[in-house]
Amino acid sequence: MYGRYGVDKLFYALVVLYFILTGINSFLRLWPIYLVGLAVIGFALFRVLSRNIYKRQREGQAFEKQWNKIKTKCRLYKKRFEDRKTHCFRKCPRCKAMLRLPKRKGRHTAVCPRCRHEFPIRVLF
């Protein structure tokens, strides 16, 4: 395999997508899902055996960029879910920054650390 691109994270993601589509298709038995699965695994093999390393690297970098955005969002939602009992999350009306505030019942004023805007908040539960 000298001179070939080889495997990377996009290859693994395509293989996982193929197995997911195959698992779904084992229950539904729809030929469009089967064709999409074949196209996905075909593209994955094409990328592994490709000699145009520069283009495959650019594809991999674009995938990494999008994947990192998704991972960051998931981490944020996980952290918010873990802190849901002790903190509340509000957006600043001026700069739209997400603020993590201690959860105290009642009406309070919050100060945005980014733009120093004071705004009222109300915590019910």
Q: pLDDT band at residue 52, thresholds of 50, 70 and 90?
A: very high
Q: How many CB atoms lie within 10 A of CB 9?
A: 11
Angle CA 50–68–82, to nearest 5: 145
**pTM, full prediction:** 0.74
Among the listed residues 86, 82, 7, the one whose alpha carbon sits nearest the alpha carbon of residue 45 = 7
Quick one: pLDDT band at residue 50, thresholds 50, 70, 90? very high
> Rounded mean pLDDT of 48-67?
96
Please give the mean pLDDT across all residues of the chain: 95
> Tokens 């009992």 appear where?
85
Helix (H, G, I), strand (E, B) or coil at 102: strand
- For the cut 80, the answer to whether the pLDDT of residue 80 exceeds it is yes
pLDDT at 125: 82
Closest-CA residue to 95 (of 119, 73, 122, 79): 119
